[in-house]
A and B are shown apart, each in its own frame.
Chain A
Amino acid sequence: DAGITQSPRYKITETGRQVTLMCHQTWSHSYMFWYRQDLGHGLRLIYYSAAADITDKGEVPDGYVVSRSKTENFPLTLESATRSQTSVYFCASSESRARSGGTEAFFGQGTRLTVV
């Protein structure tokens, strides 16, 4: 089915472990985004990507790594998980503004990550 999917939906990991959250979209959208959502902070941008092999930092990039070797995939890696990274993570994608006139973003269903 077309859309944007995240995996896993739920993850519990221990502090210090590396964990990767996956995001896959079937629309061939140029842009992809990773956000974290915490109570009182809304959605905060971690990293974003304008195209394959082009990534850039958002508001809260420390402790995270991304890659985008293919247009459809945008994995987010926590290199050494900390309790402060316990959050709900959302991936989103959008077409480029130059092509669509806007940057309406569509979200995956989210990954709830708990670091213990």
Chain B
Amino acid sequence: QKEVEQNSGPLSVPEGAIASLNCTYSDRGSQSFFWYRQYSGKSPELIMSIYSNGDKEDGRFTAQLNKASQYVSLLIRDSQPSDSATYLCAVNKNSYNTDKLIFGTGTRLQVFP
């Protein structure tokens, strides 16, 4: 079992719709969760972080965390063609009192006009 799992997609949504991206993780002790966006040929950029159960909203983005289900999601409202990218879920895993950041394989999102 991979430590962080994502559906590779592509996820295709029409412009203006809500895109829903999902991620599960295996380590129950994980405490920090992140969503990165990566455009083709570019480096990942952080778009959301979440540390406690529930929802966290930032503009058109909402991150949702459910630690009991070991599940993290990202909702993108009013999706735009410029949102077309790969979205990477990352989980902080604490090991011997040091942190390492583990990524899923990413979900490719396509927003069509």
Contacts and interface: CB of A to CB of B under 8 A. Distances in A.
Interface of A: 31, 33, 35, 40-45, 48, 50, 54, 56, 58-59, 90, 92, 94, 96-97, 101-110
Interface string B65-104: 0000000000000000000000010101011001111111
A42 to B, nearest CB: 3
B32 interface: yes
Contacts of B1: none
Interface class of chain B by DSSP: strand
B105 A104 contact: no
Contacts of A59: 102
Given A102-B51, A103-B32, A110-B43, 15 more contacts: A33-B100, A40-B105, A42-B103, A43-B106, A48-B101, A56-B95, A94-B99, A96-B99, A97-B32, A97-B99, A102-B32, A103-B101, A104-B34, A105-B34, A105-B101
Contacts, number: 69
A13 to B, nearest CB: 21
Interface of B: 6, 8, 31-32, 34, 42-46, 49, 51, 88, 90, 92, 94-95, 98-106
A85 to B, nearest CB: 19
B97 to A, nearest CB: 9
B46 A42 contact: no
Contact of B43 (A50, A58, A107): A107
A31 B42 CA distance: 22
B37 to A, nearest CB: 11
A84 B99 CA distance: 28
Contacts of A41: 105
Residue from A45, A58, A105, A108 with most neighbouring chain B CB atoms (10 Å): A105
19 contacts: A33-B100, A42-B6, A44-B103, A45-B100, A45-B101, A90-B43, A90-B44, A92-B101, A96-B99, A97-B32, A101-B51, A102-B34, A102-B49, A102-B51, A103-B101, A104-B46, A105-B34, A105-B46, A106-B46
